[in-house]
A = this chain, B = another copy of it.
Amino acid sequence: MATPPRSPLAPARFPDIPAIGGVRSATAAAGVRYRGRDDVLLVELAPGTHAAGVLTRSATATAEVQWCRRALRNGGATGARALVVNAGNANAFTGPHGEAAVAVVVRDAAALVGCPETSVFRAATGVIGERLPADRITGVLASLHDGLRPGNWDAAARAIMTTDTFPKGAVRTTTIDGAPVTVAGIAKGSGMIAPDMATMLAFVFTDAGIAADALQAMLKQAVARSFNSITVDSDTSTSDTLLLFATGAAGHAAVTDAADPRAEAFRTALQAVCTDLAQQVVRDGEGASKFVTVQVTGAADDAAAKRIALSIANSPLVKTAVAGADANWGRIVMAVGKSGERVDRDRLAIRIGGVAVAAAGDVVPGYDEAPVARHMQGQEISIEVDIGLGSGGWVVWTCDLTHGYIDINASYRS
């Protein structure tokens, strides 16, 4: 398959991300699946680094995901010292071979870095059901280790790409106790939720000093309104992995409690980095030509608002209407109706591009489609639905469903 062109929704360029104390990385072309490009990333983390993670809930999760779950157990008791990521093969549904493939990579990485095996994290995306040639990864680990260097973010983001059309990075800076702190991350995914060649991985690094339990609590909170609020095609990956590493190199007294007020600004920066990366994944959604923000307000509670927003964002009929720049608000009504949540038709209100379209169970009086049609021609689409029943709200980001999605997915293995 020819490489698809860079998404029209891509940011102008990869952000300038500074080196983060305690983080070094290197990339290499191991030929796991791709030829002529880097496909393996090694990140080394300074002693004392704490880790947190959120992993796919798929019942057919990969051996890598199961390994990370194990390494994070008991608050990641041995700390985090290394991360090895490959692109092109997800090592999913490969039976005992899958577990063995994880074991050899972890063993060799631990030996090189000089740490317990449970301090090595592992992630992979790509084809499901094909055995991972782990020897190609172990074969490049020593030279990767020799080449470790600070910064290197653009190369790292590129090495983990599969069907992604642009590398994804984000950075925010803040302070803790007056010490400057950086939070930076990279992600891949083109279709969070397109599991084959496009599953989502994200790795966030900070020089803040934060204990594992506090880190995990803050990551979980940040994920709810970022990575867990995006969808491309409603398919859930076997490989979704988000890891957060805090090296402590910033030098302030460690934060040991997520409720510590000193961590408030860090929490904001972490949320911003996660949201930025999550939105970039949607902007690289397979075949995407429009970025869609679905905002639901007035639901019975936040959980109801999220389910309604996802029902709209996952609807193939809403997504094809957006692709066709069709201001077909009837499909939004349908998607609200199928959500399973409490809805009163006569309280429902819909705005597209900020223009009131429907309210009180009917189209608004004197509705003029022209400004809505103009909005639908753009690349940034806003859909707002007020349920009129309570104070629950949520925002979900998605993209349209186009011929490009079919092109990519009807023949991706060829």
A interface, CB within 8 angstroms of B = 58-61, 90, 92-97, 127-130, 194-196, 233-238, 314-317, 320-321, 323-324, 326, 328-331, 333-343, 345-346, 348, 358, 360-363, 401-403, 405-406, 409-414
Contact = CB atoms under 8 A, between A and B. Distances in A.
B409 A320 contact: yes
Given A59-B336, A333-B128, A93 B235 contact: no
Contacts of A335: 235
A410 B320 contact: yes
A235 B334 contact: yes
Contacts of A361: 93, 95-96
Given A95-B346, A406-B320, A238 B129 contact: no
B236 A411 contact: no
Given A93-B362, A128-B333, A235-B316, A410 B60 contact: no
Contacts of A333: 60, 92-93, 128-129, 238
Contacts of A234: 234, 314-316
14 contacts: A60-B345, A60-B348, A90-B330, A93-B358, A95-B361, A130-B330, A196-B317, A196-B334, A234-B234, A234-B314, A235-B335, A237-B334, A316-B401, A328-B412
Given A235-B335, A236-B338, A337-B59, A330 B93 contact: yes
Contacts of A128: 330-331, 333-334
Contacts of A233: 316-317
Top 6 closest A-B pairs, CB basis? A128-B330, A324-B410, A95-B362, A60-B337, A236-B338, A320-B409
Contacts of A324: 409-411, 414
Given A235-B316, A235-B338, A361-B95, A326 B60 contact: no
Given A128-B334, A129-B333, A345-B93, A235 B60 contact: no
A412 B327 CA distance: 11
A348 B360 CA distance: 49
Given A195-B331, A409-B324, A411-B326, A360 B317 contact: no
Given A93-B345, A337-B58, A406 B401 contact: yes
A343 B129 CA distance: 17
Contacts of A405: 316, 320
Given A59-B337, A127-B330, A409 B317 contact: yes
A325 to B, nearest CB: 8
Contacts of A317: 194-196, 233, 235, 409
A377 B338 CA distance: 34
Contacts of A196: 317, 328, 330-331, 334
Contacts of A130: 330, 363
Nearest to A348: B60
A410 to B, nearest CB: 3
Given A92-B333, A128-B334, A317-B409, 16 more contacts: A58-B337, A59-B345, A60-B343, A92-B330, A94-B363, A128-B331, A128-B333, A129-B329, A195-B331, A234-B316, A235-B335, A238-B334, A316-B401, A320-B405, A324-B409, A403-B403
A360 B95 contact: yes
Nearest to A329: B129
A70 to B, nearest CB: 16
A93, A196, A314 — most chain B CB neighbours (10 Å): A93
A408 to B, nearest CB: 8
A233 B338 CA distance: 13
Contacts of A348: 60
Contacts of A127: 330
Contacts of A338: 58-59, 235-236
